[in-house]
Amino acid sequence: MEWQRKDLLGLEELSAEEIEFILETAASFKEVSTREIKKVPALRGKTVVNLFYEPSTRTRVSFEVAAKRLSADVINIAVETSSVKKGETLIDTGKNIEALKADIVVIRHGSSGAPNILSRNLNISVVNGGDGWHEHPTQALLDMFTLKEKLGRIKGLDVCIVGDIAHSRVARSNIWGLTKLGAKVTVCAPAMLIPAEIEKLGVLVSDDLDKVIRNADAVNVLRMQFERDNQEAFPKQLEYFQKFGITEEKLALAKKDIIIMHPGPINRGIEISSEVADGKNSVILEQVTNGIAVRMAVLFLVSQGKEYQDAHPH
């Protein structure tokens, strides 16, 4: 297929074919990271700006590594020391990045929809690095890439997403992506962490992890996002860990080769035990490695999409 989108804002708007195409493109880029000289010239002469309004380790570094492997120039804007602190608006910051002749801006923001606002106001490519509770598309893509690599397919897999569904952009993007590619998705959490009407997105809902984990091919464990809400809205940590924490006792109920995923950062002893996080079923660090190939694919494709749109103006 010919990629036509200049932005990646979320998986809700992508077709199954487009998602498959990103995963196939990522597979072709994965090999680059195994070379002695880990570089291809695909984005030589292009500039990628990382504009992160929220903390990040994996996503920011992964986008930087991905851009450098494609031979792009990379600029990281530290919002804390930028003119955002003098009251500059998101749109003005974006327009200045565009005026500085960047080609792609990767944005992480605490407000849902911030990447969409930039996309509507800029001509350069915009990539969502996580916005509020809305979407984290490259995380879900790397989760799906890892599932496909480990289990050979997405269609028909039984995937359980456990934890703080209510505050999770990772959950939302995974739900859009996995259901489009034909997986059976169950979200599992205490009722207070399940958003109303989530079933309408095509998922099953359960508060019985002991039951759900028995049939699961993979469990994606979410971090409890204590920073996002009133702590009163959260269950007590010990109580949560006993019922929903992924421990060796829970794994004893599951298929022997179940895949344990986590987007990171992990909270050991809160949503996952150290034994499981570091154990043989865990693919947590492989997810991080796969993030490079997935983000190389996304940066490459949005750059192609920009060229397509410039050649086919509306």
Shortest separation between residue 142's beta carbon and ligand CP, angstroms? 9
The single residue among 47, 50, 139, 281 that binds ligand CP, judged by CB under 6 A, is 139
CA 223 to mean position of chain CA atoms: 13
Q: Is 245 in the site for ligand CP (CB under 6 A)?
A: no
Report the residue number, 173 or 186, with the smaller CB distance to ligand CP.
Answer: 173
Q: How far is the CB of 54 from ligand CP (least distance, A)?
A: 7
Q: How far is the CB of 130 from ligand CP (least distance, A)?
A: 6
The smaller minimum CB distance to ligand CP, of residues 63 and 241, is found at 63
Shortest reach from residue 173's CB to ligand CP, in Å: 11
Q: Identify which of residues 8 and 254 has a Cβ nearer to ligand CP in the complex.
A: 8
Q: Is 285 in the site for ligand CP (CB under 6 A)?
A: no
The 3-state secondary structure of 68-88 reads HHCCCEEEEEEHHHCHHHHCC
Joined tokens for residue 135:
């979407």
Footprint (CB under 6 A) of ligand CP, residues 258-277: 263-265
Q: Is the Cβ of residue 94 or residue 264 nearer to ligand CP in the bound state?
A: 264
Question: Shortest Cβ distance from residue 61 to ligand CP (Å)?
Answer: 8
Our CB check for ligand CP shows the closer of 125 and 128 to be 128
Nearer to ligand CP, 254 or 284 (CB): 284
Q: Which of residues 38-67 bind ligand CP (CB under 6 A)?
A: 56-59
Binding mask 118-137 for ligand CP (x = CB under 6 A): ------------x-------
Nearest to 307 by CA among 42, 37, 63: 42
Q: Which of 224, 221, 164 is nearest to 190 (CA)?
A: 164
Decide whether 56 or 76 has the Cβ nearer to ligand CP: 56
User: At its nearest, how many Å lie between ligand CP and the CB of residue 66?
Assistant: 13
Q: Does 163 bind ligand CP (CB under 6 A)?
A: no
Q: Which two tokens stand for residue 197?
A: 């009407």
Q: How far lies 306's CA from each of 2, 91, 295, 301, in Å?
A: 12, 20, 16, 9
115 is a site residue for ligand CP (CB under 6 A):
no
Residue with tokens 């994996």: 58
Total chain residues near ligand CP (CB under 6 A): 9
Residue number, 139 or 273, with CB nearest to ligand CP: 139
Query: Which residues of the shown chain bind ligand CP in the complex (CB under 6 A)?
Result: 56-59, 130, 139, 263-265
